[in-house]
Amino acid sequence: MLFSLIPEPWQLHLKVHESKVNEIGVTLTKRADSGERILPDRKYVFRALEIQPKDVKVLIIGQDPYPNAQDACGLSFSVTPRKSGLPGSLMNIQKEIMTDIGSTNTSNGDLSRWAKQGVMLLNRTLTVTAGDSGSHSNLGWQEITEEIARVCAEQGAIALLWGNSARELAHLFADNRKIEGVHPSPLSAHRGFLGSKPFSAINQMLVDEGKAGINW
């Protein structure tokens, strides 16, 4: 059952949604059996939850996985390491880090080092059909990921909410525990994402609390 793939510390918090998660799992199996390519690979569906709830310092919300196998890796906005050909949103994130911080350790597109520092990279929808962005938005994942965000809020995490889908979770976080903004997509980044300096703002919030900032 799909619920069994959730890391154990998170199973305790999501137990009330176990039947819904397994229902989604059944749907995914049926679609795969009919020939659909489901992304990311099953073992990466809950990759964002490898961080224990108590260790989440920052929550970055994405929309859904990249709809191609090369990019979908279970972490929002991240891709497997490469030298070129990064998605537009990720390129804009890198551009903003360079403007904001002056340097970045994400030039290969792999954001997993953020996760190791306590940054949860969570999509609102955790799966997608290859080649069909947004195709799983009606499966019920939002119910699950909202609960995950709620737990993060209760643990004191800072939320970075880019775009309308992510900002639907803004009500879970106090005003001093969230940064809202425009999505980094090439279609919208010029309307307020570029130049917003969210990365230094988050680090200042963490330092003010006596915590280490993130090495972006």
Q: How far apart are CA 65 and CA 146, in angstroms?
A: 16
Catalytic site residue 64? yes
Return the closest-CA partner of residue 46 out of 78, 6, 4.
Answer: 6
Instruction: Using the structure block, give the residue that is written with the tokens 């994402």.
Output: 193
Contacts of 1 (CB under 8 A, 6+ apart): 21, 22, 25
Sole residue written with tokens 């996985």: 65
Is 81 within 8 Å of 110 (Cβ atoms)? yes
Q: Determine which one of 33, 41, 64, 100 is catalytic.
A: 64
Q: Which residue has the tokens 């995950």?
A: 148
Of 130, 110, 153, the closest CA to residue 64 belongs to 130
Could you list the active site residues? 64
